[in-house]
Chains A and B, each alone.
Chain A
Amino acid sequence: MDILNVTYMVELVPILLRYLPLTLQMATLGMALALILACGLAVVRVLEIPVINRLTILFISFFRGTPLLVQLFLFYYGLPQLMSSMTSIDGVTATIMGLTMHFSAYMAESIRAAIVGVDRNQTEAALSIGMTNAQLMRRIILPQATRVAVPTLMNYFIDMIKSTSLAFTLGVTELMGATQKEAASSFLYLEAFIVVAIFYWVIVEMLSWVQHHLEHRLNKAYSR
């Protein structure tokens, strides 16, 4: 007997491909929302807006301080109990909410650091030629902060793609859930999980390629 049933593995690929869109959808939607939320949180932290700043610190502390799985369970099982209007929340929504909150907490800190890291002299130079604060942000600070933040943000995106697999614990049949089901019916666990591992690996590798080229483009201005 062969160690691995390769035929089964090849057959599994088209089956799992059908579930790939859901995984990517949760990850991209989660990333987009997390980015927006993180920018908001970062701006609050940079400007130290009273009261909201405190709440932001608490928010970041909680979502960085507790496991993503616990947060997902809180949203999925906890929220309906809290609010009767949400008698049930579907697993996909709960996952996207969880990913958004969890990763925005991390991303807010790296965006904040990137904004603060832009050389203070350039801020003065921009003000000295008569720019408004909004122009300063848009034309000088954000383009440079983006360059600093992109590598870490891409890492979080990669992490988020892999974290979508936790949705399977909420009964969502995405890539991981589908694999689990297939494996349970064929009893070929090793084969199934090798295939799904390769799936994630390839997605992440493709993203790394994008990241590399993006960074190269953003760094053009700073090389001697």
Chain B
Amino acid sequence: MASLFRSAEMTLCQLFLQSEAAYACVSELGELGLVQFRDLNPDVNVFQRKFVNEVRRCDEMERKLRYLEKEIKKDGIPMLDTGENPEAPQPREMIDLEATFEKLENELREVNQNAEALKRNFLELTELKQILRKTQVFFDEMADPSREEEQVTLLGEEGLRAGGQALKLGFVAGVILRERIPAFERMLWRACRGNVFLRQAEIETPLEDPSTGDQVYKSVFIIFFQGDQLKTRVKKICEGFRATLYPCPEAPGDRREMAMGVMTRIEDLNTVLGQTQDHRHRVLVAAAKNIKNWFVKVRKIKAIYHTLNLFNLDVTQKCLIAECWVPVLDFENIQLALRRGTERSGSSVPPILNRMETLEDPPTYNHTNKFTSGFQTLIDAYGIASYREMNPAPYTIITFPFLFAVMFGDLGHGSLMAIFGAWMVLKEKPLAAKKSDNEIWNIFFGGRYIVLLMGLFSMYTGLIYNDVFSKSLNIFGSNWHTNYSATFVLSVQDKMIDPADNGGYDGYPYPIGMDPVWQLAKNKIIFQNSFKMKISIILGIIHMLFGVSMSLFNYTYFKNKLSIICEFVPQVIFLVFLFFYMVLLMFIKWFMYYPTNVESEIKYSPRCAPSILITFINMVLNKETIVDPECDANMYAGQIPIQKLLFACAVICVPWMLLAKPLYIMRSRRKMNYSVSHQQMQAATGNGDAEQPIHNNTAQPIVGHGGGHDEEEDLGEMFIHQGIHTIEYVLGSVSHTASYLRLWALSLAHAQLSEVLWGMVLNKGLVVDGWLGGIVLYVIFAFWACLTVSILVLMEGLSAFLHTLRLHWVEFQSKFYAGQGYAFLPFSFENLLDSASQTAEE
């Protein structure tokens, strides 16, 4: 059971593995995941280690697999993820794997190359086809007799004459990217001084760029010009703009023939392309079935060799030596795993696992399950517990949702949160299998049990506060009634409800939580503030006392008697005598004073009830409380002397905390020093040699002096350290107590905000008269629901969560938690594969 409250006991072990058995043994340990290996050659370069070659081969295999995976994803083939976990293959299987991957990769590369070449060919042909089709229009236009007229007017006499002699217009036709057209046109115009004639037509369907695979839009163009010089110029410009030019016969008959030829070639190419695609698809589908499996295998091999690289080689080269941290309780399991590994490798010599003594701090290893891991994460985010320190996580399971709920108390909002949490918990397995890479979702899902508990606890506090979306539930019937006459009711705007008021209050409280009448009372906030403030201080002091008592368990476990006497006891006294006394005063006030207007009981009426805060301040400042003459300044007999005594005790605790421990240590050291030097003196004199004592005496002061100097510095440090601790604790008690008031403040803010949201939004839908109201309500409700979720549940929930986190990290854990350990990171395939797949997804 001890492991629940503390981290597991760890031990450093030395492990001797026979070279042949090492691989299988490490593989078994990786499946087990309970061993953290230490690097025994930290000064050796990564490239100089023994199994560099194997690691490199694994890297190469992984690269090939990633390539395959990329291709599979490109084709949108679903990868079969059976979730099975193949064992790490034998080293000799590595060659087979390598051969398989090599073959696959080559095949795929070849197919891809072929496909690219074919596609390029196909693109050219399609472009040519488009040119032939589009230019036909241009040529038709040219041949159009109705255009003759136009030409005449445009070209004038000379032109016509030239045209009449079949005006030797040359032309080039080609295809260009559509976005380049405007620049191209302008360039042509400028370079040829307007002596060329450009026609262009867009190709409607996008064409696939064979090298990148992108869909690009292109246009067909045809340029008419006269003369060779212009022709070279035009061609150069086309080249510059990366336009592809295609030969285009002048005669319509030739063109038609060519078009026919192109069409048949496209047909042929299409079949070939289809076959290539089919082949590629077949290869990829076959690979997709196994790829996850392969990934797991390769990563496991790599991890094993990586671990083997951490080991030391024995002088005989026959055996590998490893050092590892091992949880003591799992010693048996590890030995079993090692035996399995040996059997599998067929080695005859069993591996040897023996414990080592060490002064090093072992890593912190907290056993968690899916329920506690969320809470443990919250604690670890502050700092990993020191080795074998009290782990606050088990208590956090209750205190965290509870303090959260005090701030988030609303039955409606709480049930929304609880439903969300319950859904995540119930659908745990399918949701976990989805492995979403949405960070926010992962945070919520990781903390699903926290969310569920926070929701349930909020429902409870909501019931106590009697708040459902800021409205109260009248389950048991209010214990208040009115006995005012109609005229009186008409004459006042609103009235505060007062239990002392004759007849308003039935005299016994509502069975659970607040009476629903408070929702409509004018003095609701005044009443609730006083209640919630007191509750938060009471909860805070109990929480802090719990934290301090936790330190007792730490001290007893580490056998630190001195700290119990010099730190724990004065700390408890200080906190109890001052602050817990204040809590007691609150209860005394609640029990002793009651609402009454009777003159004889005036001493116990609200008018005479002393303010706890003033009483407390006066106790510390040692002042008299000034009260009305008819009231009693004291709540109970002998209050003043008792308070003085308590305060004096608390004050004495401060120097006790500050000085006792360092002084005691100083004295005990001096005593030890004295006894040591005394013994030496005795030994020297007893020796009788004349030289020896002198030698001893000359040597001794130097050492003694050096040691003394160190000690002085040490002591100074100790005093400062203790001083800081004391100041932190004493001031902390005050400021932390005040800090717990955030419970009240946030709860008030939450209640007010939800009331405002109801009043400003949903109310607008409810006050509409007539049947139209239903439709208005329908719309407004949706709006109100969205705001409720986003502002009140998400934002307010987040802020309450953060404040709760702070209360735990600072106010609670500062009392006992050092958090200076480091986490136990076992060599485990499971963790490795998880992190590998996550990085791959990113």
Q: Do A and B bind each other?
A: no
Interface residues of chain B, those whose CB is within 8 Å of chain A, are none
